Amino acid sequence: MKREVTLQVNGEPYTVIVDTRETLLDALRYRLGFLGPKEGCGNGNCGSCTVILDGAIVDSCLVFAVEAEGAEVTTVEGVAVNGQLHPVQQAFIATGALQCGFCTPGFIMSAKSLLERNPNPTEQEIRLALSGNLCRCTGYDKIVRAVMTASQALAKVA
């Protein structure tokens, strides 16, 4: 069945017609053109589809698009501001925390959200917070280091 959904993505309002079966991930990617969030598993086990929904990270493959009526969504495309990369993005690049890059959009969202909740996390807190995001290329080491670097960079700005 088709339904109309109005939501905000990366600060801009959008109205789309979706099939009720479409997930938020489907709608973001194929209706609205936000191809950053990826589908890695379709059932909430890999985090490649992570977006921020009303302030909290979620697996967008486990949200129906219709549930996001009136919601505010942030995807990886909305993280850089005016072309300026966020400290998390800069840290990922500088630390070498990505290889193929498929899981990276999801990790950026989870890391950004973590640092907003907990600006000075320990290694174990970072690992726990990122356990909903799978990476197969890096072994997580440089990702964890990138988050530590980003937390220091954000502390300097604050």
Q: Please list every residue from 99 through 128 that binds other proteins, using CB under 8 A.
A: 99-105, 108, 110, 113-114, 123-124, 126-128
Q: Which amino acid is at 152?
A: Q
* Closest to other proteins by CB, 143 or 154: 143
Q: How far is the CB of 132 from other proteins (least distance, A)?
A: 2
Q: How far apart are CA 96 and CA 21, in angstroms?
A: 38
Residues in the chain: 158
Contact call for residue 142 and other proteins (CB under 8 A): yes
Contact call for residue 11 and other proteins (CB under 8 A): no
Contact call for residue 150 and other proteins (CB under 8 A): no
Contact call for residue 85 and other proteins (CB under 8 A): yes
Q: Go through 81-104 and write b for each residue having 16 or more CB atoms within 10 A of its CB, e for each that does not.
A: eeeeebbbbbbbeebebbeeeebb
Q: How far apart are CA 127 and CA 110, in angstroms?
A: 11
Q: Please list every residue from 34 through 53 that binds other proteins, using CB under 8 A.
A: 34-48, 50, 53
Contact call for residue 63 and other proteins (CB under 8 A): yes
Per DSSP bridges, beta strands 56-59 and 72-74 are unpaired
End-to-end Cα distance, the chain: 47
For other proteins, the binding residue among 57, 73, 115, 150 (CB under 8 A) is 57
Contact call for residue 148 and other proteins (CB under 8 A): no
Q: How far apart are CA 1 and CA 49, in angstroms?
A: 24
Contact call for residue 138 and other proteins (CB under 8 A): yes
Contact call for residue 149 and other proteins (CB under 8 A): no
Contact call for residue 14 and other proteins (CB under 8 A): no
Site size toward other proteins (CB under 8 A) is 81
Of 22, 8, 3, the closest CA to residue 65 belongs to 22
